[in-house]
Structures are given as C-alpha cells and as structure tokens.
Structure 1
Amino acid sequence: MSEHGEPGRRRRHRVAVLVRHGLLPIELGIVHRMFGRARAQQPGGDGGGHGGGPAGEYLYEVVTCALRPGPVRTDADFTIEVRHGTEALAEADTVVIPAAHEPDPPMTSGELGPELAAALARIRPGARIASICTGAFVLAAAGLLDGRRATTHWAEAGRFRSLYPRVRLDPDVLYTDEDGVLTSAGVASGIDLCLHMIRADHGSAVAAAVARRTVVPPHREGGQAQFIRHPVPQPRAAGTGRARAWALERLERPLTLRELAAREAMSVRTFTRRFRDETGLSPLQWLLQQRLERARHLLEESDLPVDRVAERSGFGTAASLRQHLHAALGVSPSAYRATFRGTRADRRG
C-alpha cells in the first residue's frame, strides 16, 4: 500500500506489479516511480487543472506482488522482499508484468504453467493489463494478445513470432495499446508505457509533470529501430538535433526538407539519412508525429476550435487534421476531445 494520500480521500487507481524470479529491478522501479509521482495539477496553472482530484493529490496507489509472498530473486546481486501475494491482483485497476530473466515457460515453451495461470485468473474483468519488455510473453501465453498488435524487445522478436503466431507483433514501436491490453519494448520503454497510461487517465499535463520530475521526455521520438545496432563506417560529428529543435518552434509553418537540411548545413540526402539513423523516422514522418502530438495536446488542454488547432499544429485546415488524426488514432478531433476532456471532467466532478 502506498504511503501517499490522506485519510478520507477518495479511492485512488490501484496498480499492481506482478514480479517473478529473475526480475529486472529497474523495471519495477519504473512503475513505482512514474505512477507513484503522478499528482493532480493546480486548476488554471502549470498543468491545465487535470488529474481528477485536489491539486497535489497523488492519483495512484502502487503495490508489488509475487506468486508467493517472500524473497524474489533479481538479475542483480540482491533479492527483494515482497509482502503481497496474488490477492493484490484481484483489487487492481491496472496490472503490470515486467520481464524475468530466469528460465521462463512463456519464453521457452509458450505455456504459462499452473501457478502463473492461476495468478492471472485472479485479475478482475475490466482491469487494464500491461507488460514491460519480455513480460509480453506472459500476456501472449495467456491468450490476451491473440489477434492484437503487440511489441516486445527487438532481440526477442523472432522467438516471440515462432511461439505466438496469432499475435500481430510490431517490433518497431516503443509500446502498443489495444482495448486495455498494453505491451512495451525493452526495459526503458516501460517509462514511455507508464507515461502513456498516465496521459490516457489524466491528460498530457499530468504526464508531462511526471516526466519533468523524472527528467525524461514526455514522449520519445521514433521506435526501436533507433536502438538496433548497425555498422557505422566512421563516427559522425554532425547530427540533426538543431534542426529538430528549430522545427519544434515552428510546427505551425510549412516546413521543407531543404529548410531542415540547411539548419545543419547538409544536403537533403545526407540530412535524411542521418535523421533516420538518429530517430528511426524520416524527417516528414517525424514532423507528422510532432504535429499530431501538438494537436492532441491542444485538443486536450484548450477550448480552441478544431480549425484553430489545425492551424497551430501545422495541419493548416480542419479537414487535414481530421484526415491525419483518423489515420493515426481512428477517431475524429471532436471525438478525441470528447473522450479525453469529457472523461477527466467527469472525474473532477
């Protein structure tokens, strides 16, 4: 039970982290850090007033549980003492399953095993369930990912495909979210996943505040492609960071590849190649991603009409914004705004 909060406060969202022998301590720490630092924001201040409670109130309660209470081995030179058993899963609103680096039936045989299957059966209907790194093998072995898009660490993509062919594996993304079942890529992408869930629950202002306190970006660029090692003939002194920073200050303007390349004194061809090496995306894909993020932020945090949101995010027209948002998220701007602003307005009420 988290020590945060005060008597008499309404029930917080409960997050249970199910750990197994061979746990990576960093993955457990990520969940506790990200959810454990999420607070309701000051209305009208830095944060837009979202969060579903009085300003400063902690929004989540995080507990660690194991198949059996007691010591759990990690992949480091220490164990952790876990007080809670699988009964914590029955009370959770969100269940997170990190990776485990000891022999693991879901990764070797594709089967859960009776003890783990019994534990997952305790998760209540309607609870959100997520995995970090190769924790996705557990969700797949349980059949929770059949027919769904999912991801895991890129180095385990081949094994995952062979064991779970019914899952639509996408090894190029940092996380996936389909119908309350979420997966993330290797280790640190757990940060991206937790921020995504916080953002979905309480808006971009709350997630951004958690990111600032943790000194991480609220939304990372690109996918796993940027972390896969490729041979590089020689070190490159020049990068594309200045061009990206320059573009972020001018997203509302039409921006061309030639302009971006000129910021780094590169040819368009060289700039495009180095940009993809650094971000995993082409410059135009990256610009679209950033414009979508700005549009989502404005739809959540402002009352601007859709056509003004389109102008400020660089889409130009409401029709263009509708087209791109629907292609990316499957919803219209008005539907997106109603979902994210309306849900949190209800919570605040």
Structure 2
Amino acid sequence: MKTVACVIQDGFAPFEFGVACEAFGLDRSEDGVPNFDFRVVAPRAGVVESKVGFSVNVENDLAFAYEADLVVFCPIPSAYWSRIDPLLIALARDAVERGAWVMSVCSGSFILAAAGVLDGRRSTTHWMYAHRMAEMYPRIEIDPDVLFVQDGRIITSAGTAAGIDACLHLLRIELGAELTNRIAKRMVVPPQRDGGQAQYVDRPLPVHASDSLAAVADWAVQHLREELSVDQLASRALMSPRTFARRFKAEFGATPAAWLVRQRIIHAQRMLEGTDWGLERIAEECGFGSAAVLRQGFSRVLDTTPTAYRARFTTAA
C-alpha cells in the first residue's frame, strides 16, 4: 500500500477527517515508517465546507482516488444519506472491483451501502445510525456493537475514535505490529483495540483513578507468559471473579479472556517480527503453551499463520 486517497464532501466531520490525515498523511520516516502518497480529494476540486463552520480548499478531484491503493470515505451528513453523489458511488464500486483497500469511517459507510458493495457483507457504522442503515439496506449484515469490521478488503468502522482503531488495524496488516506500534505511540493512543470490542461501554471513564482496572491490565500484559485466570486477576483487583468480569467488560469493552488472547497475539506478532525464535518458544513466552495453540489463535484472530506472518514482516537478522 503506497497511495491513499481521503474522500470528503460538504458537511464533512473534522475529527474523522483528521484521523485519516494523522494515520496516513504524516511524515514518520524518522521513526523508520514508510510514507504514503496521501491526498485529500473531493467530488469536485475547490472549497469544501465542514459541518462546524470552516472550509478547506481541496486541490484534487476524484481522479487520484481511481488509482489509490486505499480509498478512505469520511462521514457524510444525514441529509445526504438518501441521495449519495453518483461520483462517489462510481468511485466506491471501482475501488472494490479493482481490489483496492476501501475504508469508511462512521457514516461514510452509507456511501459504500449506496454503491452496493456491502450487499451480503458484514459491516458496521456508528451505533446511532445502524438501525437507519438496516432499514435502507436490508441486504447488509450490520453489527452495531463493534468498533470496526473487515470483510475482504473493505473495512467499515464506527464513529469518532473507532476510526483510529480501524486505521491502526489496516496499518498493522500492511506494515506489521512493530511499525504500527511506533505510529500509535506517536499518536498517543493504545496500539490495539480489537474490532470486536463494544462501541460504547458502561463506564467510559472511571469516576476515580483508583477505581480503574488499568493497573491490573498493565500487570497482566507484563505477565502474559504465566497462566492467567479470571480468578487470579480478580484477586489482584480485590474483587470477586463475577464482579471483576463485569467491571472489566464495562471498562475495556471485552471479556478478560478475549482481551488476554488479543494481548498475547500482539506480543507474538512483535516476537515473530523481531526475533528468530521458534514457534514453541514464542508460544511459551506469550502464554499460549504450545505452537499448536499459537497457530489456532493466529488463524482465528488474524486469518493467517505465524509462519506466513513472519515471512512478511520479519526484521530479525
């Protein structure tokens, strides 16, 4: 993936637009991250109004997007959902047909839906808009409870910060875990929130810092090699297992077991990229116990094998 087109139109949302610019448009060569040829495009070059009272001057029409390796569709106002610009519909269809990566953030999914490229596919959008999309496009399998969905080379994400997660997910596929972690560190965001996590949680922020389970989660990440159980983690949090599991799901948007599997996969990715260790040793270091269990985790979560992943992303001498 070398070229990225970010598509906006009148009424675009500044935050989600900024997410795409931050993820794919900045020069991070000093961190060893390859740069993308990133361009903002619009159905018609010129002034494009945002939804909050300012405008940007877009120099490029959609011509560049027809050759881009990734086309990102930013959110569009609800007033446009039932009358999507035909130019955007044509672009979405072309990008999917030629096998480019296609990503929508929040209500940008309505462009893909109108183009018919989501028919028969699993996708998501902001949870507040999911019911409307289901009514308008009954052939789409819409999951309103997740951060993002990848179906083939199409990625749809929920609103606002979920766009960051979707971008990092794609960067991890293209660049590997180590370089993506460098990008996340510069962005000052968590390097990985699994797409299957909830769009919203019961307690997005703890009332008191001491009320958060972050310290227990940090401890778990440092002890992935060990056999961690909900009972053990609950004990460290001074809670009953049932209360801990409920509170953990509310704070992190995933069960402790699912969260631990994801952390172990991330740890394994980094070791596959940066060491020449065998699979048995990596599996032991990550807490999987055996290479067979490691392979099962990779197949289920990443849809690939550890060996294939290493062949693509290894940086070990």
TM-score normalised by the chain length of structure 1: 0.81
Q: Any gaps of 5 or more consecutive residues in structure 1?
A: 1-11, 43-54
Supply the distance in 2 between the matched residues of 1:35 and 1:235 (Cα, whole angstroms): 34
1:18 and 1:96 in contact (8 A); partners too: yes
Supply the distance in 2 between the matched residues of 1:328 and 1:82 (Cα, whole angstroms): 38
Q: Deviations over 1:63-82 (max 9, x none)?
A: 11111111111111111111
Structure 1 equivalent of residue 87 of structure 2: 115
Q: Deviations over 1:62-107 (max 9, x none)?
A: 1111111111111111111111111121231111001012511xx3
Q: Deviations over 1:296-321 (max 9, x none)?
A: 22223322111111111110111111
Aligned equivalent of 2:224, options 244, 251, 254: 251
Aligned equivalent of 1:310, options 262, 276, 283: 283
Structure 2 equivalent of residue 87 of structure 1: 63
3-state DSSP of counterpart to 1:16: strand
Structure 2 equivalent of residue 51 of structure 1: none
Aligned equivalent of 1:32, options 10, 15, 21: 21
1:222 and 1:286 in contact (8 A); partners too: no
CA separation of 1:300 and 1:168: change in aligned 2, threshold 3 A: farther
- How far the C-alpha of 1:120 sits from its partner, in A, is 3.6
Is 1:268 aligned to residue 244 of structure 2? no
| Count of paired positions | 314
Q: Deviations over 1:95-136 (max 9, x none)?
A: 1001012511xx3x3x64533334445648222111111111
3-state DSSP of counterpart to 1:63: strand
Supply the distance in 1 between the matched residues of 2:5 and 2:114 (Cα, whole angstroms): 20
Structure with the larger RCO, 1 or 2 (CA within 8 Å, 6+ apart): 1
Q: Deviations over 1:258-313 (max 9, x none)?
A: 22112121111211111111012221121112112212222233221111111111
% identity of equivalent residues: 40
Supply the distance in 1 between the matched residues of 2:30 and 2:292 (Cα, whole angstroms): 33
- How far the C-alpha of 1:229 sits from its partner, in A, is 5.5
Supply the distance in 2 between the matched residues of 1:121 and 1:246 (Cα, whole angstroms): 46
- How far the C-alpha of 1:22 sits from its partner, in A, is 0.9
Aligned equivalent of 1:144, options 91, 94, 117: 117
The one-letter amino acid of 2:234's match is A
2:166 and 2:195 in contact (8 A); partners too: no
1:87 and 1:122 in contact (8 A); partners too: no
Structure 2 equivalent of residue 227 of structure 1: 200
The correspondence of residues 1-349 of structure 1 with structure 2, limited to 5 A, is: 13-37=2-26, 39=28, 55=32, 58-101=34-77, 103-104=79-80, 107=81, 109=82, 112-120=84-92, 123=95, 125-220=98-193, 223=196, 225=198, 227-228=200-201, 238-341=211-314
3-state DSSP of counterpart to 1:146: coil
Supply the distance in 2 between the matched residues of 1:224 and 1:313 (Cα, whole angstroms): 21
1:226 and 1:279 in contact (8 A); partners too: no
3-state DSSP of counterpart to 2:258: helix
3-state DSSP of counterpart to 2:79: coil
CA separation of 1:331 and 1:152: change in aligned 2, threshold 3 A: same
CA separation of 1:314 and 1:70: change in aligned 2, threshold 3 A: same
- How far the C-alpha of 1:244 sits from its partner, in A, is 0.7
Q: Any gaps of 5 or more consecutive residues in structure 2?
A: none
Supply the distance in 1 between the matched residues of 2:178 and 2:100 (Cα, whole angstroms): 24
2:6 and 2:73 in contact (8 A); partners too: yes
TM-score normalised by the chain length of structure 2: 0.89
Supply the distance in 1 between the matched residues of 2:218 and 2:282 (Cα, whole angstroms): 21
The one-letter amino acid of 2:12's match is L
